Amino acid sequence: MTVADPPPQSVAGPRSEPSGSDYLPQPGAPGPHKDRQPVKRCTKCGIEKPRTEFNKHPKLKDGLRPSCRECDRRSQRARYARKGEEVRTKNRENYHRNVEAMRERVRRYVQENQAAMRAYQMRYHAANAERKNAYGREYRKQNPDLVKASRHARRVREVAAEGTFTAGEWRTLCDSYGRACLCCGKVEPEIKLSPDHVVPLSRGGSNDISNIQPLCLSCNNLKRANTIDFRPQGGK
């Protein structure tokens, strides 16, 4: 770049949001910060101050607010003093309205998509069963001590957990679902059903029949310590 070449006059027109590279100095180019100086004059108090004394404003040309932090703070305080409780109440109301609206959207989404979400989980588990089972077998072979330790931990949790279910309750539960795995849908005797804790014991789930769902061994293994309720309407 030569000194004789002044940068072109500022370009008008729509400017996209500043991206990371916009902040890099571009020699001779009329970038957003071609005039970046270590100091900037506040439009309110008129004092020239270091750029660090200005709040950021990414949408403005030089990325900073036109007035300095001190002036911004002062006008904020003045606004609060003038409007007082009115401003605070409005801010609070906005916040709660937004939070409520967001919660409501999530609730509605879950409600409307429950069937699809469950179908997706089942497809996913079925599609990956082979691979994950093979991995599990290999892992157990390589880590017999870890396997022993985790089985022991599980027995301890089972003993400590709330609730208990009888063999009869378990049989009735399996019968009520046609002796099918609630995850992959395969039916006995093709598979062997085992009781799965909907909320895992390791996450504080109970050992009561209301927290049990019949899954085949491979689906049960895949689910691991996740909370996935495969029961229609959550078993209710």
68 touching Zn ion, by CB under 5 A: yes
182 touching Zn ion, by CB under 5 A: no
Q: Which of 216, 223, 228, 230 binds Zn ion (CB under 5 A)?
A: 216
Query: How far is residue 232's CA from residue 118's CA, in Å, rounded to a whole number?
Result: 9
Residue 219, classified by CB atoms within 10 Å of its CB into exposed (0-12), middle (13-18) or buried (19+), is buried
**Complex with Zn ion: residue 52 or 91, whichever CB lies closer:** 52
**CA nearest neighbour of 231 among 173, 192, 191:** 173
Query: How far is residue 76's CA from residue 223's CA, in Å, rounded to a whole number?
Result: 53
Q: Which of 219, 223, 228, 230 binds Zn ion (CB under 5 A)?
A: 219
Q: Which of 64, 173, 184, 222 binds Zn ion (CB under 5 A)?
A: 184
Query: How far is residue 18's CA from residue 6's CA, in Å, rounded to a whole number?
Result: 24
Q: Output the smallest distance, CB 144 to Zn ion, in A.
A: 26
Count CA atoms closer than 13 A to 164's CA, side-chain side: 4
174 touching Zn ion, by CB under 5 A: no
Q: Output the smallest distance, CB 230 to Zn ion, in A.
A: 9
Binding stretches for Zn ion (CB under 5 A): 42, 44-45, 68, 71, 181, 183-184, 216, 219
